[in-house]
């Protein structure tokens, strides 16, 4: 008999937490999702509703993280990658920096608002010329003479950018000797979005419409000394840990997104008839669908293993990178097959199939381009 494992059991497809999360998303998100896509943001009342339902305050570590893993998967299954990205950046990725590296005072001030959905969180890491290569950032924070900083720079691809209450911002701190194209001398700052000198400009994207993606500029923005996040001397350590967590979250989201695509694909090929027979009568169609479904089973199992490792404090770069790589590639392949077999009806503007196709491409770019992740997987491969 297989030993009972409370963490793995919680990730079972029939666990009651999954049913509750799916029902909550069906009530709070799906009826409004198309409207949010058109508005290109989750509205204030949407954030508050998610907070009231407890969906923005799930555990970021420990055995309780299994509930969070379920939420991330189910967000993916909604089929709206912009919504899932906005929620994940707010409640998981940005919140992780604050929860892990913030002072008790910083956590007390901000985390309650994050969990309630009353103050939206955003990550300001990438720049127009520094995406996957974060060592190339030029945003700088110069001492202001009173222990704080003046922040100047230009960040890009910032989800929740225009509605953020605060940004977790990576910048070069002039108080630490810095080397060009290095993270030495960099640090994280908590930047209030309403501080003078902050400007967010919508950045039109091919997909992820409801993620409120913006460019954010900082023009001599005052940052008090108590807004430095953690120890700047440990910035690289913080970043590696946080990127591993971000890739775990991205992999879970993508696994859910791939499952949504497979639901669309399977229903269509079984129900759509060509020449008097269902499309699934074609062996090529059956085998393509079967290959994707089989790979989804493997990816979901690996995603649950990665979630288990994180819950027990053992997530590593290879596991996180492998999951994000394979899950986002699967989601992109499933979306491509879904579009191909739906034909012209799937290519129509506004169709669910067109949306998942354009959204899936972003998953292979964000949280580290998949080309970089292949290098990380190779570099961390253990000898046999």
pLDDT at 175 exceeding the cut of 90: no
Residue 1 — pLDDT band, cuts 50, 70, 90? very low
The residue that leads in pLDDT, 155 or 15, is 155
Q: 3-state SS of the chain? A: CCCCCHHHHHCCCCCHHHHHHHHHHHHHCHHHHHHHHHHCCCCHHHHHHHHHCCCCCCCCCCCCHHHHHHHHHHHHHCCCHHHHHHHHHHHHHHHHHHHHHCCHHHHHHHHHHHHHCCCEEEEECCECCECCCHHHCCCEEEECCCCCEEEEEEEEEECCCCCEEEEEEEEEECCCCCCCCCCCCEEEEEEECCCCCEEEEECCCCCCHHHCCEEEEEEEEEECHHHEECCHHHHHHHHHHHHHHHHHHHHHHHHHHHHHHHHHHHHHHHHCEECCEEHHHCHHHHHHHHHHHHHHHHHHHHHHHHHHHHHCCCCCHHHHHHHHHHHHHHHHHHHHHHHHHHCHHHHCCCCHHHHHHHHHHHHCCCCCCHHHHHHHHHHCCCCC
**pLDDT (tens digit per residue) in 121-134:** 999 999 999 988 89
Rounded to two decimals, the pTM is 0.95
Domains and CATH numbers, the chain: 6-120 (1.10.540.10), 121-233 (2.40.110.10), 236-379 (1.20.140.10)
Weakest-pLDDT range from 30-44, 124-138, 311-325: 124-138
- What average pLDDT does range 265-284 have in this prediction? 97
Per-residue pLDDT at 14 exceeds 60 = no
Q: Give pLDDT tens digits for 63-82.
A: 899 999 999 999 999 999 99
Predicted confidence (pLDDT) per residue in 324-369, tens digit: 999 999 999 999 999 999 999 999 999 999 999 999 999 999 999 9
Q: Is it the case that residue 181 has pLDDT exceeding 90?
A: no
What's the pLDDT at 3?
Answer: 46
User: What's the whole-number mean pLDDT along residues 241-260?
Assistant: 98
């Amino acid at each position: 008999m297989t030993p009972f494992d409370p963490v793995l059991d919680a990730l079972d497809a029939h666990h009651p937490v999954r049913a509750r999360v799916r029902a909550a998303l069906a009530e709070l998100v799906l009826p409004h999702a198309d409207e949010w896509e058109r508005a290109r943001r989750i509205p204030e009342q949407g954030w508050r509703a998610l907070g009231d339902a407890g969906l923005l305050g799930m555990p970021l570590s420990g055995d309780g993280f299994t509930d969070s893993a379920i939420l991330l998967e189910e967000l993916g299954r909604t089929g709206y990658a912009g919504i899932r990205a906005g929620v994940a950046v707010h409640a998981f990725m940005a919140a992780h920096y604050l929860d892990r590296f913030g002072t008790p005072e910083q956590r007390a001030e901000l985390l309650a608002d994050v969990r309630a959905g009353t103050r939206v969180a955003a990550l300001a890491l990438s720049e127009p010329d520094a995406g996957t290569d974060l060592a190339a950032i030029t945003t700088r924070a110069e001492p202001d003479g009173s222990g704080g900083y003046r922040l100047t720079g230009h960040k890009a691809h910032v989800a929740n950018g225009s509605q953020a209450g605060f940004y977790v911002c990576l910048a070069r701190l002039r108080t630490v000797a810095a080397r060009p194209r290095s993270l030495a001398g960099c640090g994280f700052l908590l930047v209030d979005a309403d501080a003078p000198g902050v400007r967010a400009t919508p950045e039109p994207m091919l997909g992820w419409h409801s993620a409120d993606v913006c460019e954010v500029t900082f023009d001599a923005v005052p940052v008090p000394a108590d807004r430095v996040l953690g120890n700047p001397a440990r910035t690289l350590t913080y970043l590696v840990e946080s990127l591993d967590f971000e890739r775990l979250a991205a992999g879970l989201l993508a696994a859910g997104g791939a499952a949504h695509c497979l639901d669309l694909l399977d229903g269509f090929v079984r129900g759509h008839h060509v020449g008097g027979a269902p499309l699934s009568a074609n062996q090529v169609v059956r085998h393509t669908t079967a290959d994707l479904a089989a790979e989804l089973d493997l990816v979901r199992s690996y995603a649950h293993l990665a979630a288990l490792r994180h819950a027990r404090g053992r997530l590593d770069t290879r596991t996180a990178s492998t999951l994000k790589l394979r899950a986002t590639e699967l989601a992109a392949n499933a979306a491509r097959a879904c579009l191909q077999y739906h034909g012209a009806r799937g290519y129509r503007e506004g169709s669910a199939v067109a949306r998942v196709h354009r959204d899936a491409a972003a998953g292979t770019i964000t949280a580290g381009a998949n080309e970089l992740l292949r290098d990380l997987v190779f570099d961390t491969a253990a000898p046999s």
